[in-house]
Structure 1
């Protein structure tokens, strides 16, 4: 990438903070004679824990070796459990090992820590251990329910095989009782724990465990230092509209309902969304109640909407000021009128009376004009400063509003839209903090009749959205158009206009300007440019539209060198996925792309990101086209081995066999396809 791209990078990339090295700091404390923060542990035990953490960080992949390590460490903690979990280093290590602890070791920690719950829940270190114990206990207590659920999905009950949990009934019962004990304990101490920095997290963990939440939207799984293979999607993206819940007993769900009822009955409930710590708790509560009681979810959102987000009287501040001003002016006007309707002998004054009457009339007219101007100013003030509901003035409340959008059903969603968003989307989309809320509004919209007014309201705002850089809103609109199957051509036309590509001569630049997410300029002739991630996602989405012909033709009109540049970019390479897999992209268009890239497949194969685009294109090609591509890359097969990515391509496509015998290669490919 050239110099231009380097200039463009800073506005789009945020500098990441360097993470603190926990082990490095632990060793530094030891050299100073400080055995970590919190409670003090013997130096030999401290050094032993440091060595164990180093071993774990390097990776313990063998299950037997890992279990032996866990057992040895937990054996060393006997009799010193409270002291060790109160130490920063000891707490970190025990937190890592508890999920792998034997039933005996887990129950030992439960027994030792249970009498000290009040103190431990508010401690900055041991509160993490209580959370981990709760999470592990709940997982083990409900594991058999997940097994039964999987068996129910497999087929009829008669054909099911009997399977048992790896834990004994006694251990499952102990874990179940501890889960209930902790949950009920924090519920009974709700008034104190809600405001406690550390105990508040235990409340959230309790709600997640009791309702079966695995991960919240946007939440990444807690990293364990043991190296393990990742299973499936490691996190739920924030724009996802679905969450998977574990199966939990009805007894757990009843406690979640009690949490919700207790919290919503608080007199200060309406203020909870406006504090970071309480807003986070309410977010988890909404996600938890979603899997517990739909009617309770509805009533919670309605209460938040009526009392916190957009109360019925939230505009009254501006109106009251206006009323007060008018009252003062009315009093002044009455005083002037008193002069006008003066004593009965007023006429006896002579000519002066006429002058006075004229003067008074002029004063009255001037006063009326002033009142009218003040009224207009007050109305303007109310419109500009008070036109957004209170929820949009606080980031914590905004995040709770996003959670409410996620869990709400059709009617509740409509109420939130009508009370908070309608006629304000353009303004919200251009605000740094609030444009994300507009995105969540779009992501959770599934009804055509509701989406179309949103789309029409933002149709003229694309220029402003591009100018302020909140292009995620355009991504949300594009995805909603695809999901709901409406307004697709209008979106394309609106974006084309915003990018200055609506003129016939400029339409060929539409795909490139979309990737740049910048309007076309007269002197814009850069061959290398920064590809915006949102531009790439929008282009991919438009390729999945029902009529992607315009986008397809724009891409195919590009010179091969520019196409290769796009496909070798980290974000641009995904365009190949959408082009080759798009349901409405024609076979002829794919053939044309394959033909257009002739002579450049070697370049793609050698590139890190180009190689994955190459694989997508190769899979979409016919056998005849595959043979031509193979002939091209096998002519200079030695070059493929010059990079790791080229070497992988050569191995996957079996270039060596193709060079030896094309017929054998064809037979092998045919066999793999049949399998």
Structure 2
């Protein structure tokens, strides 16, 4: 997202929106490695430490057998008759050696093909046979691809209602193994991704969903501008048949096992993504217990500063974004008042924390909360734009529209942030379209439209939002866009981001006369 941070101007997809993944989080013990912090912990409880993978050499006869299978598929393609039978027979040959073959860097490719093409009985048989070794397979570079292929194949077979029972028994066996020691999988580069896919299967979410794999590139504010910005919108992707009982069993088992290691898990690059994927809003993530929340007890004051510090960590800030998005009202209210109170601007100014604030604002429940947000941020629009945190302003504008409060003040604060009282209001729209260019300009009084410059993504989104307000709130913005010269109007219309601003203005409450004035300039 351009401009979200002065030192991070490129898109979030390329630069993770200005967040940086440190090689070692400041919350980690400097004397232990990433995995060591789990395996060497004295707080593991009853979990079993994952044994290192011991590879066995595959005998030449087996190598030759699977090579022939691979050649058979290569020569006959997808149209080969009785493909599922061949796959089933080959998987039967693998019985008792599933882990050995799944983690072999050559045979693993053939195993993926077999699991993709076999019937549900052969697939479930393979997974049940290697259930106890599933974590080891998932944490292997080659084996992780085999595990992913098996999970995707299970998902496809779920389209057949008759296969549900067999698949449920299979995933139940895997759940029991993972629940005993989830930490190793969560910390592991490959295991983390497999576990997220497995959680997707249980939850009934498409396996390619960016919500579960942490690949979503747009910020909360950007989503709010492209989609309906309602607090009660279901953020879960289109659901498919899943296993809700097993999902709850696995997630509750995971949290029970990892509760003493949660501080390191929630800031680790890989395990944090698993916590996001679980959508498990456990109060332990913010330093209290379920019993505390149910009994109306507050988050301990002594833990608040630590939580605020963690929100400046890349992985934890991502996690809290998800938590805020799906938190029940009682938990959201507790976080809003006890954790974020008097810290909104501090976090909004941080290159990671500002995304948490965007999530917090987008989920504001009522006008009283909006009032508290406005008290801290209402006078900070210029500071936020100057430091590249325009996403926070976009979230605030969207929330004011949704809750029907502070609408006029939002528009006034935005206009004041980009032009002074002794300046003509015609400069407002150009300066928002080119936020970076304007605020990085040393001599702002002589700033001019940058010919051929790239229009700002968030500036465009903010203007689209503005033109959805009632006419009486946005007179300066209407005046600004209608007073632009024909060349500037044409340049806006040709830009993919600017064109949406033109469209938003033409759909606004502005008078037909003013809309015709703009169209005539474009027509010329």
Q: Taking structure 2 as the reference length, what is the TM-score of the superposition?
A: 0.70
In structure 2, the CA distance between the partners of 1:417 and 1:551, relative to structure 1 (3 Å rule), is same
The answer to whether the 8 Å contact 1:70/1:100 transfers is no
Q: Is the CA contact (8 Å cut-off) linking 2:124 and 2:170 kept in structure 1?
A: no
The 3 A distance-change label for structure 1 pair 478 and 38 is farther
The answer (yes or no) to whether the contact 1:121–1:130 under 8 Å persists in 2 is yes
Residues 468-483 of structure 1 correspond to what in structure 2 (within 5 A)? 468-483=387-402
Counterparts of 1:126-275 in structure 2, within 5 Å, are 126-138=143-155, 140-141=157-158, 143=159, 165=160, 169=162, 171-190=163-182, 193-214=185-206, 218-219=210-211, 238-239=219-220, 242-244=235-237, 245-249=239-243, 251-256=245-250, 258-259=252-253, 262-263=256-257, 266-275=259-268
- Matched residues, number: 445
Which one of 253, 271, 282 corresponds to residue 275 of structure 2? 282
The change in CA–CA distance for 1:477 and 1:51 in structure 2 (over 3 A counts) is farther
Shift, 1:513, TM fit: 0.7
Q: Which has the higher helix share?
A: 1
Please say which of residues 479-488 and 39-48 is displaced more in the overlay.
39-48
* Distance in 1 separating the partners of 2:483 and 2:106: 61
Question: For 1:187 and 1:393, how far apart are their aligned partners in 2?
Answer: 30
Kindly indicate whether the alpha-carbon contact (under 8 Å) linking 1:566 and 1:573 is maintained by their aligned counterparts in 2. yes
Residue 530 (structure 1) aligns with: 454
Deviation at 1:533, TM superposition (A): 0.7
In the superposition, relative to structure 1, how do residues 48 and 96 fare at CA in structure 2: closer, same or farther (>3 Å)?
A: closer
Please state if 1:422 is matched with 2:306: no
Contact 1:137 1:179 in 2 (8 A): no
**CA 86–140 in structure 1, closer or farther in 2 if over 3 Å, else same:** same
CA distance in 1, matches of 2:191, 2:356: 29
Q: Does the 8 Å CA contact 1:263/1:269 hold for their aligned counterparts? A: no
The answer for the alignment partner of 1:509 in structure 2 is 427
Change (3 A) 1:204 1:70: farther
Please point out which of 559, 562, 583 is paired with 2:488. 562
Looking at structure 2, the residues matched to 134 and 413 of structure 1 have their Cα atoms a distance apart, in angstroms, of 34
SS of equivalent residue, structure 1 residue 463: helix
The offset of 1:403, in angstroms, is 2.0
Task: Give 1:302 deviation, angstroms.
Answer: 6.5
Shift of the alpha carbon at 1:46?
7.4
- In the TM superposition, what whole-angstrom CA distance separates every residue of 1:254-290 from its partner, at most 9, and x where no partner exists? 52464256247x44445532433433332223x1x46
What is the CA distance between 1:569 and its match in structure 2? 1.3
SS in 1 for 2:302: coil
TM-superposed deviation, 1:392:
3.1
Please say if residues 187 and 259 of structure 1, whose CA atoms lie closer than 8 Å, have aligned partners that are also in contact.
Answer: yes
Deviates more, 1:512-521 or 1:199-208: 199-208
Is the 2:275–2:319 Cα contact (8 Å) retained in structure 1?
A: yes
CA separation of 1:274/1:139 partners in 2, compared to 1, >3 Å: closer, same or farther? same
After superposition, the Cα gap between the structure-2 partners of 1:472 and 1:268, relative to the gap in structure 1 and judged at 3 Å, is same
Matches of 1:430 and 1:442, distance apart in 2:
15
- Partner SS, residue 495 of structure 2: coil
Could you tell me which runs of 5 or more consecutive residues in structure 1 were left unpaired when the two chains were aligned.
1-8, 18-36, 56-63, 144-164, 223-233, 291-296, 316-385, 600-675
Per-residue CA deviation, residues 415-447 of structure 1 (Å, 9 max, x unaligned), is 112222211111211112211111111122232
Classify 1:587/1:43 alpha carbon distance in 2 versus 1 (closer, same or farther; 3 Å).
farther
Instruction: Report if aligned partners of 2:104, 2:142 keep a CA contact under 8 Å in 1.
Output: yes
Counterpart position of 2:301: 312
What RMSD, in angstroms, separates the aligned Cα atoms of the two structures? 4.3
The CA deviation at 1:301 is 5.6
User: What is the CA deviation profile of residues 522-558 of structure 1, one whole-angstrom value per residue up to 9, with x for unaligned ones?
Assistant: 2223451331111111011101112344322321111
Aligned to 1:575: 501
Q: Which has the larger radius of gyration?
A: 1
- Which structure 2 residues correspond to residues 397-476 of structure 1 after superposition, within 5 A? 397-476=316-395
Q: How does 1:71-150 map to 2 (within 5 A)?
A: 71=83, 74=87, 79=93, 82=98, 85-88=102-105, 91=108, 95=112, 98=115, 101-103=118-120, 106-107=123-124, 109-110=126-127, 113-114=130-131, 116-117=133-134, 119-138=136-155, 140-141=157-158, 143=159
The aligned residue for residue 34 of structure 2 is none
Secondary structure of 1:12's aligned partner: coil
Alpha-carbon distance in 1 for matches of 2:498, 2:106: 44
Q: Residues 97 and 481 from structure 1, CA distance in 2 versus in 1: closer, same or farther, beyond 3 angstroms? A: farther
User: TM-score scaled by structure 1?
Assistant: 0.56
* Structure 2 portions without partners, runs of 5+: 1-5, 16-54, 224-232
| C-alpha distance in 1 between matches for 2:270 and 2:138 | 16
Query: Could you tell me which residue of structure 1 aligns to residue 288 of structure 2?
Result: 303
Question: 1: CA distance between counterparts of 2:303 and 2:283?
Answer: 22
Deviations 1:284-341 (A, max 9, x none): 23x1x46xxxxxx56776727989x9743248xxxxxxxxxxxxxxxxxxxxxxxxxx
- Alignment-derived partner of residue 593 in structure 1: 518
Question: 2-side partners of 1:416 and 1:398: how far apart?
Answer: 14
Instruction: Choose 101-110 or 405-414, whichever is displaced more.
Output: 101-110
Q: Which residue of structure 2 lines up, in the alignment, with residue 494 of structure 1? A: 413
Structure 1 pair 433/11, CA: closer, same or farther in 2 (3 Å)?
A: closer
In structure 2, do the counterparts of structure 1 residues 481 and 129 end up closer, same or farther at CA, with 3 Å as the change threshold? same
Tell me the distance in 2 between the aligned counterparts of 1:445 and 1:546. Answer: 21
Match of 1:349 in 2: none
Question: Could you tell me how far 1:192 is from its partner in structure 2?
Answer: 5.3
- Ranked by relative contact order (alpha carbons within 8 Å, sequence separation 6 or more), the top structure is 2
Residue aligning to 1:521 = 444
* Cα distance in structure 2, aligned partners of 1:110 and 1:449: 52
1:465-509: CA deviation from partner (whole Å, max 9, x where unpaired) = 222222222222222222222222212221222212543x42011
